[in-house]
Chain A
Amino acid sequence: MLDLRLYMAQRLSALVMAPLVLGHIAVMIYAIQGGLSTAEILGRTQGSLLWFLFYGTFVVAVSIHAAIGLRVIAHEWLRLRGAALWMLTWGICAALLALGFSAVFAVTLP
């Protein structure tokens, strides 16, 4: 169910995300004071290549990581297997990529 390749994808995406999560938490702690607004978020991120790369990488890594993680849960707790399990894995990965990039584009495109 989890072979060597899925395992390595899971651990590699986790390793990529570790510093990104720390950065994300730091930004949240910094930005939450005094409340959030759309203008404030866009003021920080719009037109910034750095934030695009930061959140773009984050979205790719989290899509892979969450798809494999939910795959394991679907197999162990819902007994899903075979083609259905693969469709679920790739479906989750694709959906998170699409949703994630629409968010990243919305807040970083100039």
Chain B
Amino acid sequence: MKPPPRSHPLWFAFVLHRLSGLALALFLPAHFWLLSQAITAPARLDGFLAFAENPLVKIAEFGLVFLLAVHMFGGLRLMALEFLPWSDRQKTLAAAAVGVALFLSGTFFLRAI
């Protein structure tokens, strides 16, 4: 796919940060609601947890863990950019955030399957 005009590594980091944040925010209500059923409707929660054994759901969970990790490490990079002395290695740091996030979510995935 042809990259859009005006795209460059830190712009992609911005898009990744925004889309991961958006996805996590939309996922949260479902996450909260399901956990709130633990006492009142444990069968419903257990039913979902059994459904989560489905390999496709495992891949979706891997995606969620990746989004969470990459949003956190990407966010830490932004706060370091804003509050620590300037570093010219922003592209490297952004790539490192993606790398660490992939490592953590990969570890999660290997433990999950």
Contact = CB atoms under 8 A, between A and B. Distances in A.
B29 A96 contact: yes
B33 to A, nearest CB: 6
Question: DSSP class of B's interface residues: helix, strand, loop or mixed?
Answer: helix
A48 to B, nearest CB: 14
Interface in A49-73: 59, 62, 66, 69-70, 73
Interface residues of A, number: 37
Given A38-B42, A42-B38, A70-B22, A18 B72 contact: yes
A8 to B, nearest CB: 11
A106 B31 CA distance: 13
Interface in B13-47: 18, 21-22, 24-25, 28-29, 31-40, 42, 45-46
Nearest to B69: A25
A25 B104 contact: yes
B28 A96 contact: yes
7 contacts: A25-B68, A29-B108, A32-B111, A32-B112, A37-B49, A38-B49, A105-B36
